[in-house]
Amino acid sequence: MSENKIISGLDIGTTKICAIIGEYDPKKNIYKILGLGKAPSLGLKRGVIVDVEKTKQSIIEAVKLAQKRANIPITGVTIGLAGDHIRSLNSNSTITISHKGENAIHDAEVDESDVERVLSSAKSINVGVDREIIHILPQKYHVDDQIGITNPIGMSGNKLTINALIITAAINNVKNLVRSVQSTGLNVHGIILEPLSSAESVLNEDQKELGVALIDIGGGTTDVTVFQDGYVKHAGVIGYGGSIITKDIASLIHTSFDEAERIKTNYAWASTLLINEDDKIDIKVKSLNGKDEIKLDSYQLSLYVEARIEEILNLVKEQIEKYINIKKLSGGIIFTGGGALLKGISETNFKIFGVQSQIGYPNRLPGLNTSNFSPEYSTAIGLLHWAKNDSNNQSITSIDSDAKIWYKLKEFLTKIIKQYF
Ligand SMILES: Nc1ncnc2c1ncn2[C@@H]1O[C@H](COP(=O)(O)OP(=O)(O)OP(=O)(O)O)[C@@H](O)[C@H]1O
Ligand SMILES: [Mg+2]
């Protein structure tokens, strides 16, 4: 009998909501994507839900599509959390290692209960009444004077210290997120900070060890995650992304958001230095009233884009430099998210950060490494990694039987009802 699990995630982004259903084989540690569903996101601003009802409708649409493609119904999801209300702070804590056994007076050995105690002690900091802790990410442990230990279990000593990164979020924003999902009838199996999710699908262990900054440029937010020596050194969210570039274009040339988005994704470059006189492309755009035609070329368009993308990347730089010297990130900069598809982003990156960059594709999960998914799916695909540890996951065999039949029947009946009523 198969022990494979059905795992599912929901990336509630500012421009799109993406539901993903996958299968995880714990024996081989292999993932498979069974269904992806995408729907326009209408109820978010800068990564935060501002309209629960609209968000609910988009979630229903995305989940329905994913279920249809996977031919599997789901009952719960692991969800991604973002928004510029996310904060990270360092917490250090020390406990006395407990002495176990009869003759253990002299050599106390760190076990799982000590690690749990030191973690919960690091967690007991005051984060404010309107905030809650989403993650506690261990960085390094120290056992007496032995410093920089990744896994202290089994080590002898008296005192165990942890350096941890604590991620907090505004309680109300988390509640709205959970409410939107639950209102669709789905259970929330877990909440994962979106930058951590993208990191799992995009980065490899060497990059995390050498030092790398993952920049996920979405629609309403740009997520920044810095890894060094294998652990998360910083995770933060900036409340700007590709949507503000689209808005700039729309307001500067007096066109609709849809037209602005179309010309941005087709003709814009992150840097005007990359456009030669001969390469300029003439663009025709419909005016706001839909009757007139506006003419501009790809150089003029890129001037608008250049100004804003440089501003966003400078905010990212400012944030990273509070925690680490960027030049020390031997793994460089990795761009992901839909905004990473902006032509010429690597060149602008070099101008601002002075280190090399690459586009990060979500192909790091075992089993998915041969597929070519767009960087806009990095968060959704990374959620599968986190979802696999959930104890609520259903086994594929239980789904195969009754639920699958019921799902097919429901789909069939819905079609009939739509046809006749
Ligand atoms: N080819 C392209 N060139 C430039 N920008 C692009 C391109 N393709 C997509 N984008 C931009 O990527 C952004 C959407 O990215 P993504 O799907 O990762 O965002 P999201 O997850 O919905 O939002 P967020 O993560 O901020 O909540 C949009 O602003 C879109 O214009
Ligand atoms: Mg996103």
81-140 residue pLDDT tens: 999 899 999 999 999 998 776 555 566 899 999 999 999 999 998 999 999 999 999 999
pLDDT at 369 (0 to 100): 79
Tell me what the mean pLDDT of segment 22-44 comes to: 95
Ligand 1: residue of 10, 12, 15 to mutate (most ligand atoms within 8 A of CB) is 15
pLDDT at 400 (0 to 100): 56
pLDDT at 380 (0 to 100): 97
Q: Kindly report the three-state secondary structure assignment for every residue of the chain.
A: CCCCEEEEEEEECCCEEEEEEEEEECCCCEEEEEEEEEEECCCEECCEECCHHHHHHHHHHHHHHHHHHHCCCCCEEEEEECCCCCEEEEEEEEEECCCCCCCCCCCCECCHHHHHHHHHHHHCCCCCCCEEEEEEEEEEEEECCEEEECCCCCCECCEEEEEEEEEEEEHHHHHHHHHHHHCCCCEEEEEEEHHHHHHHHHCCHHHHHHCEEEEEECCCCEEEEEEECCEEEEEEEECCCHHHHHHHHHHHHCCCHHHHHHHHHHHCECCHHHCCHHHCCEEEEECCCCCCEEEEEHHHHHHHHHHHHHHHHHHHHHHHHCCCCHHHCCCCEEEECHHHHCECHHHHHHHHHCCCEEECCCCCCCCCCCCCCCHHHHHHHHHHHHHCCCCCCEEHHHHHHHHHHHHHHHHHHHHHHHHHC
- pLDDT bracket for residue 406 (50, 70, 90): low
pLDDT at 401 (0 to 100): 57
Say how far apart CA 200 and CA 365 lie, in whole Å. Answer: 7
Tell me what the mean pLDDT of segment 356-362 comes to: 96
Looking at 3.30.420.40, 3.40.50.300, 1.10.1040.10, 3.55.40.10, the CATH number of the domain 5-84+172-207+362-420 comes to: 3.30.420.40
Q: How far is the CA of 242 from the centre of ligand 1 (A)?
A: 6
pLDDT at 2 (0 to 100): 57
Instruction: Report which bound ligand comes closest to the CA of 13.
Output: 1
Say how far apart CA 293 and CA 299 lie, in whole Å. Answer: 18
Q: How far is the CA of 351 from the centre of ligand 1 (A)?
A: 22
Q: Would the CATH topology of 5-84+172-207+362-420 be identical to that of 222-359? A: yes
Domain boundaries, the chain: 5-84+172-207+362-420, 87-168, 222-359
pLDDT at 289 (0 to 100): 85
Tell me what the mean pLDDT of segment 262-279 comes to: 92
Ligand 1 neighbourhood includes 16 CB (under 6 angstroms): yes
pLDDT at 3 (0 to 100): 83
Q: How far is the CA of 354 from the centre of ligand 2 (A)?
A: 26
| Angle of CA points 23, 29, 31, to nearest 5° | 30
Ligand 1: residue of 11, 256, 265 to mutate (most ligand atoms within 8 A of CB) is 265
Say how far apart CA 66 and CA 265 lie, in whole Å. Answer: 25
Ligand 1 neighbourhood includes 13 CB (under 6 angstroms): yes
Ligand 1 neighbourhood includes 47 CB (under 6 angstroms): yes
Ligand 1 atom closest to the CA of 44, numbered from 1 = 27
The residue whose C-alpha atom lies closest to atom 8 belonging to ligand 1 is 338
Ligand 1 neighbourhood includes 241 CB (under 6 angstroms): yes
pLDDT at 403 (0 to 100): 58
* Residues paired with 217 in a beta bridge: 222
Reported pTM:
0.90
Ligand 1 neighbourhood includes 341 CB (under 6 angstroms): yes
- pLDDT bracket for residue 407 (50, 70, 90): low
Does position 1 have pLDDT exceeding 70, yes or no? Answer: no
Say how far apart CA 308 and CA 339 lie, in whole Å. Answer: 12
Say how far apart CA 90 and CA 102 lie, in whole Å. Answer: 37
Q: How far is the CA of 337 from the centre of ligand 2 (A)?
A: 6
Does position 408 have pLDDT exceeding 90, yes or no? Answer: no
Ligand 1 atom closest to the CA of 41, numbered from 1 = 22
Q: How far is the CA of 359 from the centre of ligand 1 (A)?
A: 14
Tell me what the mean pLDDT of segment 49-55 comes to: 94
Tell me what the mean pLDDT of segment 6-30 comes to: 96
Ligand 1 atom closest to the CA of 14, numbered from 1 = 27
Instruction: Report which bound ligand comes closest to the CA of 382.
Output: 2
Ligand 1: residue of 14, 84, 180 to mutate (most ligand atoms within 8 A of CB) is 14
The residue whose C-alpha atom lies closest to atom 25 belonging to ligand 1 is 218
Does position 415 have pLDDT exceeding 80, yes or no? Answer: no
Q: How far is the CA of 371 from the centre of ligand 2 (A)?
A: 20
pLDDT at 412 (0 to 100): 61
Tokens 């799916």 belong to residue:
377
Say how far apart CA 412 and CA 307 lie, in whole Å. Answer: 52
pLDDT in tens, 143-168: 998 998 989 999 999 999 999 999 99
Ligand 1 atom closest to the CA of 343, numbered from 1 = 3
Residue type, 190: G
pLDDT at 142 (0 to 100): 95
Q: Hey, what are 105's tokens?
A: 């007076």
pLDDT at 107 (0 to 100): 64
pLDDT at 137 (0 to 100): 94
Looking at 3.30.420.40, 3.40.50.2300, 3.90.550.10, 2.102.10.10, the CATH number of the domain 222-359 comes to: 3.30.420.40
Fold (topology level) of 87-168: Dna Ligase; domain 1 (3.30.1490)
Ligand 1 neighbourhood includes 23 CB (under 6 angstroms): no
Tell me what the mean pLDDT of segment 24-40 comes to: 96
Tell me what the mean pLDDT of segment 10-29 comes to: 96
Instruction: Report which bound ligand comes closest to the CA of 197.
Output: 2
Question: For all residues of the chain together, what is the average pLDDT?
Answer: 91
pLDDT at 405 (0 to 100): 58
Please give the biggest Cα pair distance in the chain. Answer: 88
Say how far apart CA 12 and CA 414 lie, in whole Å. Answer: 26
Tell me what the mean pLDDT of segment 236-264 comes to: 96
pLDDT at 68 (0 to 100): 95
Does position 399 have pLDDT exceeding 60, yes or no? Answer: no
Q: Hey, what are 396's tokens?
A: 């594929």
Does position 55 have pLDDT exceeding 90, yes or no? Answer: yes
